[in-house]
Amino acid sequence: MDLNNREFKAVINDMTHSYIGAQMNVEELLTYEDVPFKIKALFNKYFSKEEERSLPICGILSSVSKEDFNYQVLKQLKLKFKVGVYELDKKGNKHYKSKTLTVDEFLDIHKSDEEIFDEEVVFNKLALMAFSV
């Protein structure tokens, strides 16, 4: 992993969630030791074509269509996405603000023209435990 760009490539685990940096590509995700094995198995099986392994994970997840089976996988996992957006205040100045989005909101915002920055993907550990790969 590139040591100069680690801010949005980090992996943090707590009791209920795993937070994966959205700028991490699939190859890094599969080789990084702090990523839970079940997340690695999910990406290896559902979201990782060989030619897409160098793409950021949010780039791959944002291209999922609501008609795809992979959309059902995302919904079943109860994924949340933390994104940064620019909002205008009353004076017309832009301010960066982080928002947490559901799968549907994430897919919709990626189809819109809104300027966003993907920060992290939040995996619910209970949903991961209930999901069989």
The candidate with the shortest Cα–Cα distance to 123, out of 5, 2, 11, 9, is 11
CATH assignment of 11-130, among 3.30.470.20, 3.30.70.20, 3.30.465.10, 3.40.50.2300: 3.30.465.10
pTM for this structure?
Answer: 0.86
Q: What pLDDT sits at residue 15?
A: 95
The candidate with the shortest Cα–Cα distance to 56, out of 9, 13, 111, 115, is 9
The candidate with the shortest Cα–Cα distance to 26, out of 60, 3, 67, is 60
Please give the chain's pLDDT, 133 residues, in tens. 444 455 678 899 999 999 999 999 999 999 999 999 999 999 989 987 887 888 899 989 999 999 999 999 999 999 999 999 988 888 889 889 999 999 999 999 999 988 899 999 999 999 999 988 6
Q: What pLDDT sits at residue 4?
A: 43
Q: What pLDDT sits at residue 89?
A: 87
User: For the chain, what are the domain ranges?
Assistant: 11-130
For residue 84, give every residue at least 6 positions away whose Cβ sits within 8 Å of its Cβ, in sequence order, or none.
Answer: 96, 97, 98, 99, 116, 117, 118, 119
Report d(CA 16, CA 7) in Å as an integer. 21
Q: What pLDDT sits at residue 6?
A: 55
Say if strands 94-101 and 17-21 run parallel, antiparallel, or are unpaired.
Answer: unpaired
